[in-house]
């Protein structure tokens, strides 16, 4: 029986496709971007190396718990969630696999859409508050996290299960650091999120306490904004 493994050419093709596509939608510009890009690229390498090359996770589980968990060295067993949950039929058509495809596709779309909005804002030396940034603080990092989750639903491995929490933690740390840098570079005295409609972040050289949450339909909010525009 053909196990479906040992196909390193197919593994390399998938790695190249996903790494190239990630670069095309993320477009890393600075050292932090490149580190973020390389870390997710390493996730793809670990994933597809086991998916089509050498199934380390399946080998270890089959040799240790094979009879108990009904795991063998076939390609279908690599879909661990379906195997462990006893889901019958072709795993590629299971709800878990289809859901994983949707998450991966949505994640890449989020990264691409957010980059275009962010690029336009940075070029104009403004804060990104349109597109996905109107609703989310860090849509690109959320997109990366969704991509990782989607692949874990389809093909979890020991290496990617270890990498995933570290990558999510890294995205969280980067998000916090970028927020702090944003407040300093734009001289913002309060975080720009959440932003009500038609309310732009306030900038000032002087120090002001954090203002209350504005309501776009509030007369008090409009009066406060009019006063601040005088400074």
Phi, psi dihedral angles at 136 (to 5 degrees): -130, 145
pLDDT number for residue 227: 47
- Tell me the mean pLDDT in the region 128-145: 90
CA angle 115, 120, 184 (to 5 degrees): 90
Q: Out of 27-36, 69-78, 158-167, 204-213, pick the least confident.
A: 204-213
Give the list of residues 6+ apart from residue 220 with CB closer than 8 angstroms, or none: none
> Is the model's pLDDT at 42 over the cut of 50?
yes
pLDDT at 229: 46
Retrieve residue 168's tokens: 């999510």
Domains and CATH numbers, the chain: 8-186 (1.20.120), 197-231 (no CATH)
Collapsing DSSP to helix, strand or coil, 137 comes out as: coil
Give the number of residues written for the chain. 231
More confident residue, 228 or 128: 128
How much is the pLDDT for 64?
85
Mean pLDDT of 107-136: 88
Tokens read off for 210: 């954090």
C-alpha–C-alpha distance, residues 80 and 202, integer Å: 51
Q: What is the mean pLDDT of residues 174-178?
A: 87
d(CA 145, CA 171): 8
Number of other residues whose CB lies within 10 A of the CB of residue 31: 8
| Distance from C-alpha of 116 to C-alpha of 120, rounded to nearest angstrom | 6
Instruction: State the alpha helices, DSSP H only, in 56-138.
Output: 56-69, 80-85, 95-123
User: How sure is the predictor about 161, in pLDDT bands with cuts at 50, 70 and 90?
Assistant: very high
User: In whole numbers, what is the pLDDT of the chain averaged over residues?
Assistant: 81
């Amino acid at each position: 029986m053909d196990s479906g493994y040992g196909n390193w050419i197919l593994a390399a093709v998938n790695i190249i496709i996903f790494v190239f596509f990630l670069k095309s939608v993320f477009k890393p510009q600075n050292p932090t971007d490149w580190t973020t890009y390389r870390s997710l690229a390493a996730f793809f390498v670990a994933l597809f190396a086991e998916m089509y090359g050498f199934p380390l996770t399946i080998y270890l589980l089959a040799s240790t718990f094979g009879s108990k968990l009904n795991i063998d060295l076939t390609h279908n067993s690599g879909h661990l969630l379906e195997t462990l949950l006893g889901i019958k039929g072709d795993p590629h058509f299971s709800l878990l696999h289809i859901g994983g495809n949707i998450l991966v596709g949505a994640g890449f779309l989020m990264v691409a859409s957010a980059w275009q909005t962010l690029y336009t804002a940075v070029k104009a030396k403004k804060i990104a508050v349109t597109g996905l940034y109107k609703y989310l603080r860090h849509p690109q990092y959320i997109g990366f996290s969704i991509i990782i989750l989607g692949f874990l639903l389809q093909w979890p491995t020991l290496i990617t299960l270890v990498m995933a929490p570290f990558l999510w933690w890294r995205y969280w740390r980067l998000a916090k650091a970028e927020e702090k840098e944003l407040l300093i570079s734009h001289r913002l005295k309060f975080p720009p999120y959440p932003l009500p409609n038609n309310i732009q972040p306030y900038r000032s050289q002087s120090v002001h306490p954090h203002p209350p949450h504005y309501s776009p339909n509030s007369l008090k909010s409009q009066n406060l904004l009019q006063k601040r525009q005088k400074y």
